[in-house]
A and B are shown apart, each in its own frame.
Chain A
Amino acid sequence: MPTDLAVIGAGPAGLAASIAAAARGVRVTLVDAAPSAGGQFYRQPATGLGARRAQALHHQWRTWTRLREGLDRHIAAGRVTHLTDHHVWNVERTSTGLTVHALSGPEQETPVAVRADAVLLATGGYERVLPFPGWTLPGVLTAGGAQAMLKGTLVVPGGRVVVAGTGPLLLPVATGLAAAGVAVAALVESAGPEDFARHAGALAAQPGKAVEGALYTARLLRHRVRILPRHTVLEAHGDDRLEAVTVAALDPAGRPRPGTARRIPCDTLAVGHGMLPHTELADTLGCRIDGVAGVAVDDEQRTDVPGVWAAGEATGIGGAALALAEGHIAGRSIAARLSGTAPDPRQWERVARSRAALRRFSTTLDGVYAPPAHWADQVDDATVVCRCEEVRAGTVREAVGRLGAGDLRTVKLLTRAGMGWCQGRICTPGVAGVAGCAPTAARSPFARPVPLDVLAREPLQEGPDAC
């Protein structure tokens, strides 16, 4: 299929970009790992489930309908090709453009290459979970993961759930689970009213968002969900599966208040401490990454690598509305640049204004929602911090103390933390916190595990490096 633009990721950012570019005559191939379009926010129930009221699980359904219809129209007209179930593991720069390497098929072993003049990275993000005693017990999962299971398969975890951590995702997850008939025993949020009060002005500048939050809260109260602000989960209990959690109130310094610990029985803990961007593809392409914030882009959503744009949460966490705005601008910029003209940003001024406002709002939220300042003190030496390699906090502390490791890379080399299957995506923030080092973005040679025979066949721009 002749392709001008390859879009990686069919979430809000990738869809908005594909539609904006296709409407301007660009031939788009949209590549996504999921079986259907939508990304995380608009994840759809699998077709075989015959859901006639999927909107009951969603917000902003009208926007989704518009995106879905736009995509279908461009697919029917032959302007967009949507490759579902395609996992991209590398994007390669060649003398004539860019090649996107994906794996497809039920076993993800069939290599597929898409050649394009431009690539948009719209790969979104994943949840950050900081370690605590018991977090490896079955029954403990990410808040977004619980949401993804609910939206995609209409299956809910267990019968009695605690939703905990910090961040704007906890409210929709708790309301979603409660509406689906799960008993939500508590919503445990480490931010407290004083954190919101400190940012009241900036929060009020986005009235729509404040109303959204209030609606969620009202719904939680209707489902009789207990909200515990300025609280944290100290420990998850159980032998081979979760049976209860201990929660405690936090003092102003972010330490558990003595005497406030209490046990809440539950079979599921949906936990998250904010989100991190997917940056691996950008990293192997050589794009500049802004620390742990995301792929660096200019006003047109261009990265510093020619022909490569990025939009949505891959460029920084900010929610679905921001992803839509960034994707739209990226799509228009790409359409102009591919036809050899510089775009006129005045044409997307309204969208750029909303992008700026949403970015300000998400910076404010970062100030409101933060994990307890001293969370690492609660992680005892026996707690596994790297889930893949089963590296304990004590081993990490020993690497820093007795062995003198001074940075995260040395800690990883000495302990093997971050060198397992997930390539450090999950454990990096936790290991960094326990070691007292600055976190860096997880670096891996490939965005997906790749069968060796595929590697042997594919020409590579860079070999896999040692760690």
Chain B
Amino acid sequence: MNPLELAGARPEPAFTVTFDDRELQALPGWTVAAALWAAGITSWRTTRRDGRPRGIFCGIGVCFDCLVTVNDRPNQRACLVAVRPGDVIRTQEGTGHAD
């Protein structure tokens, strides 16, 4: 049993987004984090100091570990932001600004 079956889900049609130029399928209602997780991706940021990978941690918008660049806008919280058709999602390096 997967969670979609468990909840008797009949999702609206999936759409395509990209993550670092890789195409992913996403369902309407998903957050960016859900779309990445569903594709087996667990990190989408590197830290400013040590360049370590990070992904989701608190899952509810409190910790800011899940920051990601969406459509050229850095510092979006992947656990809160809804994913939209055609979104261009990129790993955020450091502050997300070329500095």
Q: Please report A residues at the B interface, Cβ cutoff 8 Å.
A: 33, 35, 40, 45-54, 56-57, 106-107, 126-127, 136, 138-142, 144-150, 152-158, 179-181, 240-242, 387-390, 420-422, 425-426
Cβ proximity bits B52-85 to A, threshold 8 Å, 1 near / 0 not: 1111111111111101000001001001111000
Instruction: Provide 27 A-B residue pairs closer than 8 Å at the C-beta atoms, listed in order of the A residue.
Output: A35-B82, A45-B7, A46-B30, A49-B9, A49-B30, A53-B8, A57-B7, A126-B62, A138-B43, A145-B60, A146-B59, A147-B59, A149-B33, A152-B31, A153-B30, A158-B42, A180-B1, A181-B6, A240-B43, A241-B42, A242-B42, A387-B65, A388-B65, A390-B49, A421-B67, A425-B63, A426-B57
B30 touches A155 (CB 8 A): yes
| Known A50-B11, A141-B58, A155-B38; further 18 A-B contacts with Cβ < 8 A | A45-B29, A46-B30, A49-B7, A50-B9, A51-B8, A51-B9, A53-B8, A57-B6, A136-B54, A139-B55, A144-B59, A152-B34, A153-B33, A180-B3, A180-B6, A387-B65, A390-B48, A422-B62
Interface residues in B5-63 (C-beta closer than 8 Å to A): 6-12, 27-31, 33-34, 37-38, 42-43, 47-50, 52-63
B3: which A residues are within 8 A, CB to CB? 57, 150, 154-156, 180-181
Q: Is B98 an interface residue (CB 8 A)?
A: no
Contact among A40, A138, A150 with B53 in the assembled complex (CB-CB below 8 Å): A138
Contact among A49, A56, A426 with B11 in the assembled complex (CB-CB below 8 Å): A49
Instruction: Give how many A-B residue pairs fall within 8 Å (CB-CB).
Output: 156
A239 CA to B48 CA, complexed, in Å: 18
A49: which B residues are within 8 A, CB to CB? 4, 7, 9, 11, 27-30
A136: which B residues are within 8 A, CB to CB? 52, 54
Contact among B31, B42, B55 with A153 in the assembled complex (CB-CB below 8 Å): B31
A141: which B residues are within 8 A, CB to CB? 55-59
B65 to chain A, nearest CB (A): 6
A154 in contact with B9 given A138-B53, A240-B43, A241-B53 (CB within 8 Å):
yes
A40 CA to B50 CA, complexed, in Å: 33
Contact among A138, A146, A154, A157 with B7 in the assembled complex (CB-CB below 8 Å): A154
Which residue of A is nearest B1, CB measured?
A181
A415 to chain B, nearest CB (A): 13
B61 touches A145 (CB 8 A): no
A154 in contact with B4 given A49-B9, A139-B42, A421-B64 (CB within 8 Å):
yes
A165 to chain B, nearest CB (A): 14
Contact among A107, A150, A420 with B73 in the assembled complex (CB-CB below 8 Å): A107
A54 touches B42 (CB 8 A): no
B76 to chain A, nearest CB (A): 8
